[in-house]
A and B are shown apart, each in its own frame.
Chain A
Amino acid sequence: MQNEEIKEYIISQEPEAKFDETGEWLNVIINPLSWRLLAEKLKHADLQLDYLFCLTCIDWKTHLTMVYHLTSTKYRHSIVIKTDINRTAPQIETVSDIWRTAEFHEREVFELFGVEFLHHPDLRKLILTDDFEGYPLRKDFEDPINMIKL
């Protein structure tokens, strides 16, 4: 499906969505509160975006941005969903029951960025130890023992 058709569909579901076409794929910027409902439609309805190939977060110092890379194994079109969440108490609804791969990826973002995924079935640290303090991939993280900057 062409970008124009995808845009039309998303606008019909989420009128407040903004678009950015400067990158390789169509970027859709949405409100975090509407993410969960939109996600269900993206997977099951017209677009058939059934494969979440990357889920990550970016720390912009003033806010965090969740980034979801989606593609359709049927139509082979890809889009990127971005949504800004606040940095002090970041929260967003989980999509781990829609795309099962999100379960591990969200646990990774939870421990490395401190984002709380609401209604996640098993939100615990995955890579770091239980007593680890701080969120290593945030820009203001300092490690007094291990050198992480040159």
Chain B
Amino acid sequence: MYTQTEIIKDTTQLNSNGNEGELVINVGPQHPATHGVLHLVITLNGETIKKIEPHLGYIHRSIEKMCESLTYRQFIYVTSRMDYLSAHINNLACALCVEKGMQIEVPERAQVIRILMSELTRIASHELWVGAMAMDLGAFTPFFYTFREREVINDIMEQTCGARLTMNYMVPGGTMYDLHPDFQNRVKAFIIQFTSKVTELEDLIANNIIFQNRTKGVGVLSAEDAISYGCTGPVARGSGVSCDIRKIQPYSGYEKVSFEEVLEPAGDSYARYLIRIREMYQSISIIEQLIDNIPEGDFQAKTKAVLKLPKGEFYTRVETARGELGVYIVSEGGTTPYRIKFRSPGFSNLSALNHMVKGSKIGDLMATMGTLDLVIPDIDR
């Protein structure tokens, strides 16, 4: 971390080198537009950004080290605290990895419930992003519109899982409880509400000339760079890179539902906005296909009380709302992982930020950074 004196020293060094007019400023760690404790050290020349250095770690808890002393049942709960907006999908990734190692067959009912929950999570996460992104650009109203729909999802989650954000509903072998009897009706009501209200967002944001001017052609990322920087999720798909793990390496029964992978070739902030809006429609379509066809049966496979993974290495990839989450478990045959690595989508997406904004105006920074959909606990872990 830079201390205050070091930054002043840096600035004077730059000036004495003849680079007059260059200025180093700090954005964060406490800043409304970073949505968490992210610290950016920005080198400016006038209004033009010359370099951005992210300083991470303000919310680093060393989850990977913690998991080394937790059992295969316990470590899943910690992962809800990584990307708290995709808690379900994080839990799912860990459960899938343990199931892969132990070769547990998950009942069909549990698989369908898992997809339903993942897609509801994705909608809730994208809804929050749309609101927050609009707020970053100075439009306050959409935030309330998107939270209206997001609240409904959170209430559905609360009813079935007992929690609104850190659900901890996925366990190795299936889900922790069965669905609430009212679940189907409430989800159907939500679909009607969502489809009738989502057009309001288009009127408020997408058709708004101020929003278009501020995002079109801003923060352009080419397909080649997106792959090289390891960008995934809506960020890469906004550059036309096909990277949806649900299509490439289907898990938990995604191969049985039909949906489209949304791609936009432009690579600018507006494309990334469009991707997320269209992904919500795709998620709704997946939910519509499954909500009346939840198979009867067990919601959890019978597993031993103490889980032991055989010696070896196991890797699962899932598609969270932000991109590809990888869970890499190295097992020595015991009840706890020998080494565990979470490949978080936000970490790689953030690494492309410097490349995306270099040479643009500082006013465009938030319009670019906002579309990366950064969740800081996911980056710091």
Which A residues lie at the B interface, using CB under 8 A? Answer: 22-25, 50-54, 56, 58-59, 67, 69, 73, 76, 99-101, 103-105, 108, 126-130, 136-137, 141, 148-150
Distance (whole angstroms) from the CB of A113 to the closest CB of chain B:
11
The chain B residue with its CB closest to the CB of A146 is: B62
List residues of chain A with CB within 8 A of the CB of B65. Answer: 136-137, 141, 148
Output the residue of A69, A127, A130 with the most chain B CB within 10 A: A127
Residue B339 CB within 8 A of the other chain: yes
B230:A52 contact, CB within 8 angstroms:
yes
Inter-chain contact B317/A53, CB cutoff 8 Å: yes
Contact A101 B57 (CB under 8 A): no
The interface residues of chain B, by DSSP majority, are classed as mixed
Residues of B within 8 A of A128 (CB): 57, 60
| A-B pairs with beta carbons under 8 Å apart, 26 shown | A24-B100, A53-B326, A53-B343, A54-B315, A54-B341, A56-B328, A58-B339, A69-B315, A73-B242, A73-B243, A99-B228, A100-B351, A101-B228, A104-B347, A104-B351, A105-B347, A126-B55, A127-B380, A129-B1, A130-B1, A136-B62, A137-B65, A141-B65, A148-B62, A149-B69, A150-B70
Q: A58-B338, A104-B348 provided; 17 other pairs, C-beta below 8 A?
A: A22-B312, A24-B100, A53-B326, A54-B328, A56-B341, A67-B328, A69-B326, A73-B241, A99-B230, A100-B229, A100-B355, A104-B350, A104-B351, A105-B347, A127-B380, A128-B57, A137-B64
Q: In the bound complex, do residue B228 and residue A50 qualify as a contact, i.e. CB atoms below 8 Å apart?
A: yes
- Check B257 for interface membership: any CB of A closer than 8 A: no
B209 within 8 Å of A (CB atoms): no
Expressed in whole angstroms, the Cα–Cα distance for A82 and B341 within the complex equals 15
Report the separation of the CA atoms of residues A63 and B333 in the bound assembly, to the nearest whole angstrom. Answer: 20
Tell me how many residues of B have a C-beta within 8 Å of chain A.
41
Per the bound structure, the CA–CA distance linking A137 and B60 in Å amounts to: 13
Q: Bound complex: CA of A104 vs CA of B62, how far in Å? A: 16
Shortest distance from the beta carbon of B42 to any chain A beta carbon, whole Å? 16
Nearest CB of A to B269, in Å = 20
The reply to whether A54 and B64 form a contact with Cβ atoms under 8 Å apart is no
Instruction: Report the minimum CB–CB distance from A111 to chain B (whole Å).
Output: 9
Nearest CB of chain B from residue A56's CB, rounded to whole Å: 4
Whether the Cβ atoms of B69 and A150 lie closer than 8 Å is: yes
A52-B230 Cα distance, complex, nearest whole Å: 7
Q: Is B248 an interface residue (CB 8 A)?
A: yes
The 4 closest A-B pairs by CB, nearest first: A101-B230, A127-B57, A104-B351, A100-B228
| CB neighbours of B1 from chain A (8 A) | 129-130
Q: Does B324 contact A (CB under 8 A)?
A: yes
Q: Which residues of A contact B339 (CB under 8 A)?
A: 58-59, 137
Separation in Å of the B319 CB from the closest CB of chain A?
A: 13
What residue of chain B has the Cβ atom nearest to residue A73's Cβ? B227
Distance A127 CA – B61 CA, assembled complex (angstroms)? 10
Contact yes or no, B312 A100, CB < 8 A: no
Best-surrounded residue of A69, A126, A130 (most CB of chain B within 10 A): A126
B229 touches A101 (CB 8 A): yes
Chain B nearest CB, measured from A71 CB (Å): 9
Query: Beta-carbon contacts of B306-342 to A below 8 Å, as 1s and 0s?
Result: 0000001111010000001010101000000011010
Contacts of A108 in B (CB 8 A): 347
* A51 close to B230 (CB less than 8 A): yes
- B351 cross-chain contacts in A, Cβ below 8 A: 100-101, 103-104
A24 with B315, Cβ < 8 A, contacts A54-B341, A99-B230 known = yes
Q: In whole angstroms, what is the CA distance A112 to B350 when docked? A: 19
Report yes or no: B229 in contact with A129, Cβ–Cβ below 8 A.
no
B56 within 8 A of A: yes
B225 at the interface (CB under 8 A from A): yes
Q: Which residues of A contact B62 (CB under 8 A)?
A: 136-137, 148
Closest to A74 in B: B227
Whole-angstrom distance between the alpha carbons of A59 and B62 in the complex?
16
In the complex, which residues of chain A have a beta carbon less than 8 angstroms from the beta carbon of B355?
A: 100
B66 CB within 8 Å of chain A: yes
Whether A23 contacts B229 in the complex (CB less than 8 A), given A54-B343, A150-B70, comes out as: no
Please give, as numbers and ranges, the residues of chain B lying within 8 Å of A101 by CB-CB distance: 228-230, 348, 351
**A148-B242 contact in complex given A54-B326, A59-B339, A100-B229, C-beta closer than 8 Å:** no
| Residues of chain A lying within 8 A (CB to CB) of residue B241 | 73
A25 to B343 alpha-carbon distance, docked (Å)? 17
Q: Inside 8 A of B380's CB, which chain A residues have their CB?
A: 127
Could you tell me the distance between the alpha carbons of A51 and B225 in the complex, rounded to whole angstroms? 10
Contact residues of B between 234 and 289, Cβ < 8 Å to A: 241-243, 248
A100–B57 touching, CB < 8 Å = no
